[in-house]
Structures are given as C-alpha cells and as structure tokens.
Amino acid sequence: MHQRQRKILDMLQRGKVLIREAAAELGVTEMTLRRDLKLLEERKLILCVKGGAIPYPAKYEPESAAAELTDCKFAIANALFQRIMPAESIFISAGTTSLAFAKIVARYNRLPLTVITNSLPAASTLFRSCCKVILLGGELRSSSLDLVGPIAEKNLEEYHVDWLISGCDAALSDYGFYTSDISVSNLEKKSLGIASNAAIITDSSKFGRRALTRFATLSDIDLLVTDEGISPEDARNLTASGLEVITIPSGS
Amino acid sequence: MHQRQRKILDMLQRGKVLIREAAAELGVTEMTLRRDLKLLEERKLILCVKGGAIPYPAKYEPESAAAELTDCKFAIANALFQRIMPAESIFISAGTTSLAFAKIVARYNRLPLTVITNSLPAASTLFRSCCKVILLGGELRSSSLDLVGPIAEKNLEEYHVDWLISGCDAALSDYGFYTSDISVSNLEKKSLGIASNAAIITDSSKFGRRALTRFATLSDIDLLVTDEGISPEDARNLTASGLEVITIPSGS
DNA sequence: AAGAAAATGTTATTTTTTAACATTGCCTTC
DNA sequence: GAAGGCAATGTTAAAAAATAACATTTTCTT
C-alpha cells in the first residue's frame, strides 16, 4: 500500500478526515486524495462522507443480513414483539429473523428487557437501548458473527429466560424445526431448556423442507409466528400439536 | 416522530437510501428529505453519506475512544506487537491502550493469533482479521462496551494464554498497577492467573498516581511498555523488580 | 376566521464531486 | 543514456449535491 494511503488511515484513527485539510497536509492535490479515498473505500477501510471520510464502521452484521431483512420478517418480528411484557427476560438466538426482532425492540426502545444472546448483530442493535444485554461467551464466527461452542452452551446454564426467540432454516409441520448448522443446533437445544416459553419466528417458505438437524420438536415450541403463506394443512397440524400460531398478512 | 421519518428508517433497514430516489418515492422535495435526514442524523439514527444516508453504524467503540487513541498509544502498542510471535494466544483486556494494540494487530493482519478478550471494541477490530477471536461472556456495559462480572471471570478459567495485554489507570513504580473500576480489577486479577507472560502498556503519565484498586503487583508483570516520559527513578524501580521496561521515544 | 407557527417548497449560490484530458516522473528496453 | 510506455498526479471544466435565504402552504390556536 502506498505510503500516503497508510498515512490517511493513521489520520483517520482519530476521527473524520476532511479532503480539503488532508490534501494540504499531505501536500497533494484534492484530486489525488480523492483517488486515494476511493481506493480505500473499495477495500472497505474507510467510508466517504460529505467533505471527507471516516473510518469504516465495523458493522456487526454479516454481509448477507441487509438483503435478508425483508419487510415480511419485520412484520413477523413485530407480531411477536406485541407478546413481550416489560421486564421479561428473553434469549435471542442468531439468525436474520431474530435480528429483525432485535431491531424492532431497539426501535421501540420502551420495554426494559433483559436480553441474552449469542448474536453480535443483536447485541450491537441493542446495546444503546434500554435493555440490559448479556452476551454468551465463546468463539466468534466471523461469517455469521455469532458465538457458539461449548463455552456458549455452558454459559447458558447460568440463566433462565421467559422467552426463547429463534428462527429456523426449515420446518415440518408434523415433525419439528431444523437448522443447517450443527453447533447452532446444539445451542438451540440447550436454550430450549432454560426458557419458560419458546417462540419461533419464520417466514412461511421454510415449511415443507428439512435441513441438517432438528433442534426442536413440535412440543418444544409454544408459539409460532409466520406469514399467511403457510398452507392451511401445515397450520392445522401445528395447532393440533398445541402450538399457538400467529399469521401476519403477506402484503404487510 | 414524523410518519415520513419512520418510513425513511424502514427504507434504510435494507441498506442505503438515495436522496433523489427517496424524495420521489415519498412524494416530497429533496430539500424536505434533506431536513429529515439531518434530524435523524443528529439523533444518531442514520449517517449521511454522499447522495443519501445509511443506517447509523453501531460503532463498537465508546464515544471517548477516538479522542484517546493518541499517536503515543499506537507507538507503545506497536512496540509490544513486535514481541508477539505467530500462533501465540493473547488476552486483550478492555481499555483504550489495549484497543490501540488490537488495531495494530488488525492493521498488520499477518500474525495468526488466538485472541481472547472481554472488549467488544477489540473483538470488533479483529473479527475480520486472520486472528481467531474468542469473546468472554457476561453483562455488556454500554458505557465501555466490555464484558465483566462473574460469568466473564468464570469463562476465563477455561483458557490459558501466552500473553496478557493490559493497560492501567495508574501506577506506582514501587508498588504496582491500578484501575479505577472494581469489576475490571477482578477480571484483571483472574487473567493474570491464566497468562504465561503479562505485559502492561501505558503512557508515562500514569506513573506516580493511584487509582481505586491495585490489580497487579510488580512481580505479577513481566513487561512494561511506555514512553520516554517515565522518570529515570520509576524506570529504575521497575527494572529492579525484574520487569523488562521498553520505552518508546515521546515524539513518535 | 385571523394570526402565528411549523412545515414544505423554490430558487440562487456555494461547495463538492466527477470526468476528461494534460503533465510529470519513473521504469523498461534497446 | 534516450525513446517510449505506463503509472501517478495535476489541471480544468462540467455535473451533482448541499446550503442558505426566502416564499408559500399547511396546521394549529384562539
């Protein structure tokens, strides 16, 4: 990397850099500095704002999250949110639907909850809020930004929560809920054991499919929130097994 | 909050919003949208970039960090970094000097280390790097963005590291190192127990002062990195106690 | 309904960004 | 060491975006 670009990064360590000033300080023309900034921005080292640049904000969200946070997921998350009471404790698992839920909680920011989570995106969303946030320990997976593994599972034993809030990768209405990651599955199973109520929030497209491992049977779960896309038969199966099913309009 | 502003936040959930487009979509003039964005930016809900805005990046750094990350701290951190060998495991404690160290590690990004930390800023800095990151669990303190408390301490017992890397709030060259936070102190004490080597990195201004609690005696520490501002007498005291002392030029 | 206050729109001006092309300096190759 | 090429930087003009100042509309109050 060019010496000058390295210097720009140094300058940025303590906040915003203005193009005007920095160009003078580095003894180059504004155009050159702009070209440097563009390069650094492409490499995700900085973020260009109006008259300058700031350090690249370490978004605590996997790259994929933005695309997957659909309106439908927010609507589903919002429906569940209506059920949560002040001062309750909840465990928010990793995954985009759960993240949508965390964002709803943060946006509303009036329920003083105790939130336990293994998801850095969720913790990131909530740490400024009025909720108390507890993070499980463990190895940080850089792809999904969640904490899994034996330490996370062991930490879980220290807590009890009113609600477990989780998504799923696949679901069969007569058999249970699946995830495609074995370590996630292990953690989910454990978290079912520490929760008074378990809620699954998922869009209806997940039904009728299997994934690697089943982490919950139908009887493990108390409440399912999904969209109207779910087939009447699936809904009937679930209700018959004692789950409460909430469906939100698909258009919302 | 205005209905329209709420809508803007919704739009932002899935990435960048362009002023041109959003103004058309919301049926208002660009000027009005700009005013909305300015308001939302003041409330730290969004961040304005070139032709639009992005969701406010949840910077995993306490507000104070930027101002305190001086060149001096980076120089000190860099000197310590030279001592770290590939594949070693290190514990990085919370605090701005330790954060400077994490940033050096991330910037260089060639040492495959295992990093254990209770600091979200440090984890945030390192999660994209080639280091393996392990986060202690515990309650998230929103002011300092670190994890402390009994769970964090207990998790520590699961690990052993080659290096403990820590800052301090105050130091006496004939007595030891202080911090002004009792829960931090507890964690520091524990972490001394799991490290083969303990390094303290701190600017020389901390010497000759006390703070709330002493977390380390002189014999607990193996290596001290500071700047030339340290008095010859302090340096002599430390060396006499068996600490290796590295001083970096103040101007650097 | 009158008037005040807030919100929004309009226009002109300034600032910032982009694009296209000119210049410089460095490196290769003969 | 000179010719030529390539990358880096500089210059200028045009486009885009942001700001400021003021006009208009809407909303609320009384």
Query: Would you kindly state where each structural domain of chain B is located, as residue ranges?
Result: 3-55, 65-248
Mean pLDDT, chain A, integer: 91
Going from the C-alpha of B203 to that of each of A147, A175, B43, B98, B124, the distances in angstroms are: 34, 61, 35, 12, 24
CA-wise closest residue to A197 among A225, A233, A170: A225
Cα separation, B213 vs B180, in Å, equals 6
How confident is residue A213, by pLDDT bands cut at 50, 70 and 90? very high
Structure tokens at A227: 């969209």
According to the model, what pLDDT value does residue B69 have?
77
Give the tens place of pLDDT for each residue, A79-132. 999 999 999 999 999 989 999 999 899 888 888 999 999 999 899 889 888 999
Note whether B211 contacts A: Cβ–Cβ < 8 A.
Answer: no
- Which chain A residues contact residue B160 at CB under 8 A? none
User: Per-residue pLDDT for A250 more than 80?
Assistant: no
Q: Quickly state the pLDDT bin for A1 (edges 50, 70, 90).
A: low
Question: Is the Cβ of A18 closer than 8 Å to some Cβ of chain B?
Answer: no
From the list A57, A66, A135, which residue is nearest B135 (CB)? A135
Between chain A and chain B, the number of residue pairs with CB atoms below 8 A apart is 114
Query: What are the φ and ψ backbone dihedral angles of A92, each rounded to 5 degrees?
Result: -105, 120
Amino acid identity of A140? L
pLDDT at B128: 85
C-alpha B217/C-alpha A10 separation (Å) is: 34
Measured CA angle at A232 (ends A251, A228), to 5 deg: 15
pLDDT at B251: 61
What does the pLDDT look like over A70-94, one tens digit per residue?
A: 889 989 999 999 999 999 999 999 9
> What pLDDT is stored for residue B50 in this prediction?
87
pLDDT exceeds 60 at position A252: no
Identify the H or E element spanning B114: strand B114-117
Distance (Å) from CA B142 to C1' D19? 36
Q: With respect to CATH, is domain B65-248 assigned 3.40.50.1360?
A: yes
The nucleotide minimizing the C1' distance to residue A3's CA is D8
Residues within a 7 A CB radius of strand D = A 2, 4, 27-32, 35-36, 50; B 19-20, 31, 34, 38, 48, 50-52
Residue A73 contacts B where some CB pair is shorter than 8 Å = no
Contact indicator for B192, B156 with CB cutoff of 8 Å:
no
State which residues of chain B have pLDDT below 50: none
CB of B159 within 8 Å of any CB in chain A?
no
DSSP string, chain A: --HHHHHHHHHHTTS-EEHHHHHHHHTS-HHHHHHHHHHHHHTTSEEEETTEEEEPP---S-TTHHHH--HHHHHHHHHHHTTPPTT-EEEE-SSHHHHHHHHHHHHH-----EEEESBHHHHHHHTTSSSEEEE--EEEETTTTEEESHHHHHHHTT--EEEEEE--SEEETTTEEEES-HHHHHHHHHHHTTEEEEEEE--GGGBT---SEEEE-GGG-SEEEEETTS-HHHHHHHHHTT-EEEEE-TT-
Q: Does the distance separating the beta carbons of B124 and A139 come in below 8 Å?
A: no
Judged by CB atoms closer than 8 Å, whether chains meet at B133 and A142 is answered as: yes
Distance from residue A7's CA to nucleotide C30's C1', rounded to whole Å = 39
Q: Which of A15, A128, A140 sits opposite B123 (nearest CB)?
A: A140
Percent with pLDDT over 70 in chain A: 96
Cβ separation of A13 and B69 shorter than 8 Å? Answer: yes
Q: Any idea which nucleotide's C1' is nearest the CA of A50?
A: C16
- Contact across the interface for A60 and B124, Cβ inside 8 Å: yes
Query: Strands B17-18, A244-248: parallel, antiparallel or unpaired by DSSP?
Result: unpaired
Shared fold status for A3-55 and A65-248: no
Residue bearing the bigger pLDDT, B56 or A159: A159
Q: Which residue of B has its CA nearest to A134?
A: B139
SS3 B138: strand
Nearest to B48 among A50, A135, A138 (CB): A50
The CATH number assigned to the domain with range A3-55 reads 1.10.10
Question: What are the distances in angstroms from CA A12 to CA A30, A57, B71, B228, B230?
Answer: 17, 12, 11, 25, 28
